[in-house]
Amino acid sequence: MTAGRAAVLQDGALRVEDVEYGAPGHGEVLVRLVATGLCHTDLGVIAGGIPFPTPGIIGHEGAGIVEQVGAGVDSVAPGDKVLLSFTSCGACSGCAGGHPAYCETWQVRNLFGMMRDDDSGTITHEGLPVAGHFFGQSSFGTYAIADERSLVAVDADADLTALAPLGCGILTGFGSMWNVLDPSPADTVAVYGSGAVGLSAIMAAAHRDPAALVAIDLVDERLTLARRLGATHTINAGTEDVAARLAEITGGHGVDLSFDTTASPRVARGALDAAAIRGTVLVCGAPPPGTEIPVDIQGILTGKVLRGVTMGDTLPQQLIPELARLHAEGRLPLELLEKTYTLDEIEQAVADMHHGVTVKPVIVY
């Protein structure tokens, strides 16, 4: 057993406790964590919107150093620096086709901590079991017992603290824009919401130099940051008429490519109404089950597309090294989004993220 500390979720609160980590099982790796990002999905679990067994350890943007590998692991070795992302089965049609975010067992493997081998490593607190394996990792602790398929090796000189959020939030935003919407210089692009996912999408779009890149949010400070990251226009949805401003910016043409990161049906409907002929509206986020987006069928007969996305439809082992390279070259300024906290300050980090004080909290161990 390996002694460590972790933020254990119980009764809707995170409490830092001493825990013990067992040896990694088949296909698993014990990672000594250096840092982990805090994501809105974690906040959803804490609030009870996403079911996860308790007492349990969540967190899913880990970064650290391999300590021990289980049987069958051959892609990493002790001493390797790694980033942790989501897990998948590796065998279904989605995984085999290079789309592991659409693994047939994605939800049960990532959100619910299920589908583990019998010899999977355990976590205990005072001798009692603690649930883990959130997104194949559970990174709100000094160690993680992670699936090999969750790991992405990075260079020995990589800044793990800065890169930690690549595993989910940055990956989702950048990948959704880069892989799915794929803007060209002729396109107008609008991003609804300037949190970590939205700002990452803006950074991705800026690399493609679209005709216009519009950031929409309620907080002026976020919109100022969006400008720094490449937005050509900003709209404060609390003080401006979004539809009128988009019509003005696009000359009445409408928005070619929209990315809604808010999980708000009202925002998604507004994006559809503002879309150009044959325009695409891409939505991510996880509102409560049963949430519906009202669609005017007449309005989409002009070829408009409403599409959902998970994890940016990315292959982490392919995109994350590219993002790490862009960061090393100074072309992905992640530090502008981040603020660091200690593990003992994790509840303050949660509060700061919930209230918009910090775009991307990073817990440093």
Domain containing residue 38: CATH number = 3.90.180.10
What pLDDT was estimated at residue 284?
92
Could you tell me the CA-to-CA distances from 340 to 83, 168, 291, 347 in Å, in that order?
A: 17, 17, 34, 13
Cα separation, 83 vs 148, whole angstroms: 11
Q: Are residues 204 and 258 in the same domain?
A: yes
CA 241 and chain centroid, separation = 29
Return the SS3 of 298: helix
For residue 18, tell me if it sits in a domain: yes
- List the 255-260 sheet strands across, edge first: 233-236, 212-217, 188-192, 255-260, 275-283, 305-308
Confidence of residue 238 (pLDDT cuts 50, 70, 90): very high
Nearest CA to 192 among 281, 252, 304, 288?
281
pLDDT above 90: residue 286? no
**Mean pLDDT of the region 19-24:** 96
Band (pLDDT 50/70/90 cuts) for residue 116 is confident
Same domain, 88 and 30: yes
Q: Is 76 helix (H, G, I), strand (E, B) or coil?
A: coil
**Domain of residue 71, residue span:** 2-167+333-364
The count of domains in the chain is 2
- 45 neighbors 52 (Cβ within 8 angstroms): yes
Q: Are 129 and 229 in a shared domain? A: no
Taking the CA of residue 185 as centre, how many other CA atoms within 13 Å lie in the half-sphere pointing to its CB? 1
Give the tokens for residue 149: 């398929």
27 shares its domain with 125: yes
pLDDT for the residue 287:
79
pLDDT tens for each residue of 144-171:
999 999 999 999 999 999 999 999 999 9
Beta strand 62-69 pairing with 28-37 = antiparallel
Same domain, residue pair 134 and 204: no
- Quick one: 77 and 103 in the same domain? yes
Give me the percent of the chain exceeding a pLDDT of 70: 99
SS3 label, residue 146: strand
- Going 224 to 322 to 176 to 180, the CA torsion angle's sign is positive
The CATH number for 182's domain is 3.40.50.720
pLDDT, tens digit, 9 for 90 and up, residues 37-60: 999 899 989 988 888 999 999 999
Q: What pLDDT, in 10s, does the model give residues 51-107?
A: 899 999 999 999 999 999 999 999 999 999 999 999 999 999 999 999 999 999 999
The single-letter DSSP state of residue 56 is B
pLDDT at residue number 361: 97
The answer to whether position 328 is within a domain reads: no
